[in-house]
Amino acid sequence: MDFKTLQSLGAIVPKTLFKRQITLTYKPPKPDTEWAEAGNPEFQDEEVTEPYDVFIRLPSAADAIEIATASERDRPFVGIYRCWVNEDGTEVLPSLEMAASIRPWLALPLWDAINSLSPTRAKKSKPSKRGGASSPSSSAAAQ
């Protein structure tokens, strides 16, 4: 198998970046002059909701293996660290530790944006429309 065959099979992850809009709902920080303690930000009372454009790159095999072998707790942060990039393709965050320290209001929409591009992501199953107890199986009814 040669490189052209690999390309024709789609086996090489393209360098294409995907622009996605995420919606962030957060409380903006107060000016640092209003903080009770330096280095410990305080936040405004009112939440704001704003759209932001982010760039996501498809995970390579190396990324996918790193994400898959991470602990369940670290998996989203490995994905965010490896796949969230600047418009020029450079990583947004300098380390996995930094990815793990972002606030949930940013981490959850980012992880959703990354997963939206995954061709192997699990599809959400639709809940059953019927309520109540399920009907017995044909083998159970025969007994």
**Residue 120 clears pLDDT 70, i.e. is over it:** no
For the chain, the C-alpha Rg in angstroms (whole number) is: 22
Q: What is the pTM of this model?
A: 0.75
Question: Is the separation of the CB atoms in 29 and 43 below 8 Å?
Answer: yes
The count of other CB atoms within 10 Å of the CB of residue 136 is 10
Look-up: residue for tokens 């280095």? 39
Q: How high is the pLDDT of residue 15?
A: 83
Q: What is the CATH T-level fold of the domain 13-118, as seen in this structure?
A: rbstp2171 (3.30.2220)
Per residue in 5-31, pLDDT (tens digit) is 888 888 888 788 999 999 999 999 999
Average pLDDT over residues 109-131: 67
Average pLDDT over residues 42-65: 95
Q: What is the mean pLDDT of the chain?
A: 86
Tell me: the pLDDT tens digits for 65-105?
A: 999 999 999 999 999 999 999 999 999 999 999 999 999 99
Residue 122's pLDDT is 44
- On the question of pLDDT at 132 being above 90, the answer is no
